[in-house]
């Protein structure tokens, strides 16, 4: 999993991970965000090789997720933080 920060957005790429690996990594990442300037996490999960990661991200439950924003790009989902 790679991460990059762009202003108020933290971009995370989970390509190549299994669903369980990606879920654990995302939950760990979300729990560790201490920077109050980060307002959203853009998850790049892809969609060409199936929808397993996309579905996992879009159903992910975590106390700091306020909203999920679906992108016009089917390979991305934005998690808006509380």
Summarised one tens digit per residue, pLDDT across range 28-70 is 999 999 999 999 999 999 887 778 999 999 999 999 999 999 9
> How far apart (Å, rounded) are the C-alpha atoms in residues 17 and 35?
26
Domains and CATH numbers, the chain: 2-81 (3.30.1370.110)
Q: What is the pTM of this model?
A: 0.91
Nearest residue to 57 (alpha-carbon basis) of 33, 32, 25, 35? 25
């Amino acid at each position: 999993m790679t991460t990059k920060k762009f202003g108020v957005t933290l971009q995370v790429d989970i390509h190549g991970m299994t669903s369980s690996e990606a879920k654990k990594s995302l939950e760990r990442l979300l729990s560790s965000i201490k920077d109050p300037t980060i307002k959203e996490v853009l998850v790049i999960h892809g969609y060409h090789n199936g929808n397993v990661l996309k579905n996992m991200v879009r159903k992910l439950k975590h106390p700091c997720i306020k909203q999920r924003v679906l992108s016009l790009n089917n390979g991305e989902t934005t998690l808006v933080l509380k």
